[in-house]
Copies of this chain bind each other. A is one copy, B any other.
């Protein structure tokens, strides 16, 4: 399923080494200014170039094909696409024969009967998050003045001195993971739907669609499991519902309580490494060795903060529209 949302609805498409990547945003309110320039900041933050990111460089210029007239959204579906330019042709049959450990090579091959596009991970590539960021730029405009901000709080198990970890990993041809914390401020009370569409349910749903995510926690999350109720409950301090602590991450009973939404996402290390690994050779039917050449992120986490922000913003745009907190016209 490549669609998400009930009213503010996002549909993504594209492959890493195909012609391009794109997104249809349906249900966006009319009357919002939108030009290609609006995407520059978040797309830049997602771009490669820094130490630990892939040497593949794409200009990622958004083309707005529909849903915008005179630089203002019309209420019709907005389609935004990005051409892939810097793709490298090579023989990808290697990953069909000897699927990369930790990758979708094997699972996608079985699921799609061998017809999946193997080039650069195809539709399973992290490059598809480009579409998510594009949708997120629109979502952020919809939910203004809510501010959604994500930052890396841990890399390779270290809370500070990130750079050293990255440099080490790059040198050794290995990769590292990390944790991103996201904070949403200015949230009204009452967002989130009973039971299945709790705020946590929706945010976790979209966040786990981002490649390499393996865990999520809200507020103090896994730490809460070690506490007593008397130490974990957030005391309500005023008539606006402000709490003295925010252990619940701004959500009670699945519904926002007006305090900041806070959640943390765990990214595993990029599975693509140049270190030689064992894997099964399905062609020869023997255990084999695999050395992954190509261009990869030694630390993909560096590029994820705008992706996480986009995921959260898309959920909030949808919930606020469902809850009549944003007018559709």
Contact A239 to B66, CB < 8 A, known contacts A31-B115, A75-B194: no
The 8 A CB mask of A286-326 against B (1 = contact, 0 = none) is: 01000000000000000000000000000000000011100
Q: How many residues of A contact B (CB 8 A)?
A: 144
- Give complex CA distance A229, B166 in Å: 12
Answer whether residue A52 sits at the interface, using C-beta atoms and an 8 A cutoff.
no
Answer whether residue A162 sits at the interface, using C-beta atoms and an 8 A cutoff.
no
Q: Taking the nearest CB of chain B, how far is it from the CB of A241, in angstroms?
A: 6
**Cβ-defined contact, A221 with B215, below 8 A:** yes
* Chain B residue at minimal CB-CB distance from A276: B230
**Cβ-defined contact, A174 with B279, below 8 A:** no
Q: Contacts of A211 on B, CB cut-off 8 Å?
A: 253
Q: Contacts of A62 on B, CB cut-off 8 Å?
A: none
**Cβ-defined contact, B218 with A215, below 8 A:** yes
**Cβ-defined contact, A174 with B229, below 8 A:** yes
Contact of A204 among B123, B192, B216 (CB under 8 A): B216
Q: Contacts of A116 on B, CB cut-off 8 Å?
A: 30, 69, 74-76
Contact of A200 among B208, B224, B269 (CB under 8 A): B208
State how many copies of this chain the complex holds: 4
**A113, A124, A229, A241, most chain B CB atoms within 10 A:** A229
**A225, A248, A328, most chain B CB atoms within 10 A:** A225
Q: Contacts of A239 on B, CB cut-off 8 Å?
A: 280, 282, 285
**Cβ-defined contact, B117 with A225, below 8 A:** no
Q: Contacts of A208 on B, CB cut-off 8 Å?
A: 198, 200-201, 204, 254
Q: Which of A41-49, A53-61, A103-111, A140-148 contacts B (4 or more CB under 8 A)?
A: A103-111
- Give complex CA distance A328, B321 in Å: 11
Q: Taking the nearest CB of chain B, how far is it from the CB of A136, in angstroms?
A: 14
**Cβ-defined contact, B11 with A11, below 8 A:** yes
Contact of A123 among B66, B111, B190, B227 (CB under 8 A): B66
Q: Contacts of A257 on B, CB cut-off 8 Å?
A: 106-107
Contact of A14 among B4, B79, B232, B253 (CB under 8 A): B79
Answer whether residue A50 sits at the interface, using C-beta atoms and an 8 A cutoff.
no
Answer whether residue A220 sits at the interface, using C-beta atoms and an 8 A cutoff.
yes
Q: Taking the nearest CB of chain B, how far is it from the CB of A222, in angstroms?
A: 4
Interchain residue pairs with CB less than 8 A apart (30): A1-B193, A1-B195, A11-B77, A14-B66, A74-B123, A101-B234, A101-B235, A102-B233, A103-B253, A107-B252, A111-B190, A154-B225, A156-B227, A177-B224, A179-B222, A196-B206, A200-B214, A201-B204, A208-B254, A214-B249, A215-B224, A217-B222, A217-B266, A222-B222, A224-B269, A225-B266, A227-B269, A236-B279, A237-B287, A323-B328
